[in-house]
Chain A
Amino acid sequence: MRVTMTVNDEHHEVDDVWEGESLLYVLRERMGLPGSKNACEQGECGSCTVYVDGVTGCACLIAAGQAQGHHIVTVEGLATEDGLHPVQEAFIEAGAVQCGFCTPGLLVQTDDLLRRDPEPSDAEIREALAGNLCRCTGYEKILDAVRLAASRMKPEPGTLS
């Protein structure tokens, strides 16, 4: 079947999609967007986390046809022409990236957290990232990175966010 959707503000149209195919497969194998990682295909690891109409979900658990006509944002959509997203910079600076397999999902989920709650407590960070597994870092540096990103992204007093 043919599936069309907007990914990172670009219109995409792909053909010959199998009806039971996941959004993750479509992104990676048909659209050439390998940022979202495929590690478990069962919702356990969060490395495939993307936004669908502003709400995060595991792309491996979304049928391609369910994404038809929707707005998807992947990790590739976080950076702008001006450079990396503050969450990306914070992950690099804090040393929160080792093998990097979990990173794309963590970046999207952290971005979502900080949009909803610019000053999360440690408990709130842990809760927001509970569905993102990392086998390398031991999570401490990831927490550091989220705190760093939060401190940089905090809206200046008096400005509209």
Chain B
Amino acid sequence: MEFLAPTTLADALAAKAEHPDAMPILGGTDVMVELNFDRHRPPVLLDLTRVPELAEWSRDDRRVRLGAGVSYTRVIDELGHVLPGLAMASRTVGSPQIRNRGTVGGNLGAASPAGDSHPPLLAGGAEVELASLAGTRTVPIDEFYAGVKKHVGRPDELITAVYVDVPTGPQQFSKIGTRNAMVISVSAFSLALHPDRRRVGTGIGSAAPTPRRAADAETFIAGALDDDGLWESKGALPDALAREFGERVQTAASPIDDVRGTAAYRLHSLAVMARRTLAWAWSDYQGGTNA
């Protein structure tokens, strides 16, 4: 095995071009488990922790550019108020030690359907930045996932950043697990209200081969809120609407039975989380916070 530790982005991209089968490593919280248990022996380990561009974030009015190597702890501490949905999800990841090293870029690289950063990125709106010697491109988050633990990045590309929209309304994240820490989600759901566009964003985790949106539920609830003039009036959210929203979220999922839970439980919990996160976000919206 070879160990490469480039200190500039240009060198990192050159290394990936030369060794397309190199395994990138950021926090190592997925990669090292595979190495320790001999599940994987990549010919080259490409350490990206020394590339300064990946460890930085910046923002303008519209969005945050989050470098792939920014840890969950830093997302929580430095961006907790700017990106509440992603920060809520980050707080549920692993343990303090895992959050200190683990990154959103690594979560995207692993592209696990259970990754906790995916639902808030899907709900809030995001684009993944992929770079290679051939150039840089961005992929809308809902076109990024390509199958179980697969994404659309090419072997010569690295994930350099994710652009996360600065919210215009409340955001929520909810996750089912057996305890409060150190759990891979049984199912997860994130919701974002976009009052400026009168839209509602959703993201489903652990209940389909890939993280995904519930597009039909989004259209339904945005339309219903519009029809009832609720975006303007900020009136009470009818129970029937929230319930139907939950049911439509459920139909967007296609879960399996596994050691963490049954498909039936995942569907049930999704409907409950969808209903509740909508109610929480709506009550935030009514209170004027975040709006």
| Complex-state Cα separation, A22 to B3, whole angstroms | 13
Is A60 engaged at the interface, CB distance under 8 Å to the other chain? yes
CB-nearest residue of chain A relative to B180?
Answer: A130
Is A139 engaged at the interface, CB distance under 8 Å to the other chain? no
- Partner among B1, B41, B98 whose Cβ is within 8 Å of the Cβ of A43: B98
Q: Of B31, B73, B94, B100, which is in contact with the most chain A CB atoms at under 10 Å from its CB? A: B100
Do the beta carbons of B29 and A43 come within 8 Å of each other?
A: yes
Give the shortest distance, in Å, between A114 (CB) and chain B (any CB).
13
9-residue interface stretch from B32-40, B151-159, B259-267, B271-279: B32-40
Contact A65 to B47, CB < 8 A, known contacts A56-B96, A56-B97, A56-B100: yes
Is A109 engaged at the interface, CB distance under 8 Å to the other chain? yes
Interface majority SS (helix, strand, loop, mixed), chain B? mixed
Give the shortest distance, in Å, between B188 (CB) and chain A (any CB).
18
Is B8 engaged at the interface, CB distance under 8 Å to the other chain? no
Contact A68 to B28, CB < 8 A, known contacts A20-B41, A46-B97, A131-B97: no
Do the beta carbons of A131 and B25 come within 8 Å of each other?
A: no
Give the shortest distance, in Å, between A15 (CB) and chain B (any CB).
14
A61 contact set on B, CB distance < 8 A? 27-29, 32-33, 98, 101
Is B9 engaged at the interface, CB distance under 8 Å to the other chain? no
Contact A66 to B96, CB < 8 A, known contacts A60-B36, A131-B182: no
Is B95 engaged at the interface, CB distance under 8 Å to the other chain? yes
CB-nearest residue of chain A relative to B28?
Answer: A61
| Complex-state Cα separation, A56 to B101, whole angstroms | 8
Give the shortest distance, in Å, between B164 (CB) and chain A (any CB).
23
Is A148 engaged at the interface, CB distance under 8 Å to the other chain? no
Contact A42 to B36, CB < 8 A, known contacts A19-B2, A19-B3: yes
| Complex-state Cα separation, A109 to B100, whole angstroms | 12
A44 contact set on B, CB distance < 8 A? 182
B10 contact set on A, CB distance < 8 A? none
Give the shortest distance, in Å, between A146 (CB) and chain B (any CB).
14
Do the beta carbons of B97 and A20 come within 8 Å of each other?
A: no
Instruction: Sort chain A's interface into a size bin.
Output: 20 to 34
Give the shortest distance, in Å, between B110 (CB) and chain A (any CB).
13
**Chain B contact residue count (CB 8 A cutoff):** 29
Do the beta carbons of A131 and B181 come within 8 Å of each other?
A: yes
Do the beta carbons of B94 and A131 come within 8 Å of each other?
A: yes
Is B55 engaged at the interface, CB distance under 8 Å to the other chain? no
- Partner among B35, B94, B100, B101 whose Cβ is within 8 Å of the Cβ of A20: B35
Give the shortest distance, in Å, between A135 (CB) and chain B (any CB).
15
Give the shortest distance, in Å, between A155 (CB) and chain B (any CB).
22
A19 contact set on B, CB distance < 8 A? 1-3, 45
| Complex-state Cα separation, A132 to B95, whole angstroms | 8
| Complex-state Cα separation, A61 to B98, whole angstroms | 9
Do the beta carbons of B96 and A130 come within 8 Å of each other?
A: yes
Do the beta carbons of B96 and A128 come within 8 Å of each other?
A: yes
Is B206 engaged at the interface, CB distance under 8 Å to the other chain? no
Give the shortest distance, in Å, between B173 (CB) and chain A (any CB).
17
B90 contact set on A, CB distance < 8 A? none
* CB interface residues, B 1-44, toward A, < 8 Å: 1-3, 5, 25, 27-29, 31-33, 35-37, 41
A43 contact set on B, CB distance < 8 A? 29, 32-33, 94-95, 97-98
Is B49 engaged at the interface, CB distance under 8 Å to the other chain? yes
| Complex-state Cα separation, A1 to B180, whole angstroms | 40
Contact A66 to B25, CB < 8 A, known contacts A56-B100, A131-B94: yes
* CB interface residues, B 40-63, toward A, < 8 Å: 41, 45, 47, 49
- Chain A residues in the interface with B (C-beta under 8 A): 1, 18-20, 22, 41-44, 46, 49, 55-58, 60-63, 65-66, 68, 109, 112, 127-128, 130-132
**Cβ-closest 5 pairs across A and B:** A131-B95, A130-B181, A19-B3, A19-B1, A61-B32
Known: A19-B45, A43-B97, A61-B29. 10 other contacts (CB 8 A): A20-B1, A41-B33, A42-B33, A43-B32, A44-B182, A58-B29, A58-B97, A63-B31, A65-B3, A131-B98
